Chain A
Amino acid sequence: MPVLVARDIVQRFGKQEVLHGVSLGVEKGEVLGLLGPSGAGKTTFVNILAGVAEPVSGTVDAFGERMPSLELMRRMGYMAQSDALYYDLTAAENLQFFGAIYGLTGAALKRAGERALDTARLTVDPRKFVRDYSGGMRRRLSLATAILHEPELLILDEPTIGLDPLHRVDIWESFSRMAENGTTIVVTTHVMDEAERCDRLAMIRDGVFIAIGSPRELRERAGAATLEDAFLHFARAETAQADREQATEHAAPEAGGRDA
Chain B
Amino acid sequence: MDGLAWRQFKAILRKDIVMELRTREMVTSMGLYAILTMVVYQVALSEAGASLDVRLVMPGLIWVAFIFMSLLGLNRSFVHEKDQGCIEALLLAPIDRPVIFFSKFTGNLLFLLVVEVLSLPVFSFLFLQEQQGIANPVWMVGLVLLGASIGISGVGTLLATISVNTSGRDIMLAVLFVPLMYPLLRAAVGATFAAVIGGPASAALFWGWMAWVAAFDVIMLLVAFALYEFVIGA
Mask of B86-100 contacts with A, CB within 8 angstroms, 1/0: 101111111110000
How far, in Å, is A79 (CB) from chain B's closest CB? 9
A interface size (C-beta, 8 A): 29
Mask of A74-100 contacts with B, CB within 8 angstroms, 1/0: 101010111111111100010011101
Q: Is the CB of B92 within 8 A of A76?
A: yes
Q: Is the CB of A84 within 8 A of B11?
A: no
Contacting residues, chain A, for B23 (C-beta < 8 A): 88
B interface size (C-beta, 8 A): 24
Please classify the interface of chain A as helix (H, G, I), strand (E, B), loop, or mixed, using the class held by over half of its residues.
loop
Q: Is the CB of A84 within 8 A of B84?
A: yes
Asked if A101 CB lies within 8 Å of chain B CBs, one says yes
Determine the distance from Cα of A96 to Cα of B18 in the docked complex, in whole angstroms: 13
In the complex, which residues 48-64 of chain A have their Cβ closer than 8 Å to any Cβ of chain B?
50-52
Partner of B84, one of A74, A82, A98, A101: A82
Q: Is the CB of A73 within 8 A of B22?
A: no
Partner of B11, one of A51, A80, A101, A145: A101
Q: Is the CB of B94 within 8 A of A89?
A: no
Known contacts: A89-B19, A100-B8, A100-B11. The answer to whether A84 contacts B94 by CB under 8 A is no
In the complex, which residues 35-71 of chain A have their Cβ closer than 8 Å to any Cβ of chain B?
50-52, 70-71
Asked if B85 CB lies within 8 Å of chain A CBs, one says yes
Q: Is the CB of B22 within 8 A of A88?
A: yes
Q: Is the CB of B4 within 8 A of A98?
A: no
In the complex, which residues 62-100 of chain B have their Cβ closer than 8 Å to any Cβ of chain A?
80, 84-86, 88-96
Q: Is the CB of B84 within 8 A of A83?
A: yes
Q: Is the CB of A83 within 8 A of B85?
A: yes
Partner of A78, one of B22, B84, B92, B95: B92
Q: Is the CB of B92 within 8 A of A52?
A: yes
Q: Is the CB of B90 within 8 A of A101?
A: yes
Contacting residues, chain A, for B94 (C-beta < 8 A): 70-71, 73-74, 102-103
27 sampled A-B residue pairs with Cβ under 8 A = A51-B92, A52-B91, A70-B94, A71-B94, A73-B94, A76-B92, A82-B84, A82-B88, A84-B85, A84-B86, A86-B19, A87-B80, A89-B18, A89-B19, A93-B15, A96-B11, A97-B12, A97-B15, A98-B93, A100-B11, A101-B12, A101-B90, A101-B93, A102-B93, A103-B4, A103-B7, A103-B94
- New A-B contacts (20) at CB < 8 Å, excluding given A88-B23, A100-B8: A52-B91, A70-B95, A70-B96, A71-B94, A78-B92, A80-B89, A81-B85, A84-B84, A84-B85, A84-B88, A85-B86, A86-B80, A86-B84, A87-B84, A88-B19, A97-B12, A100-B10, A100-B11, A101-B11, A101-B95
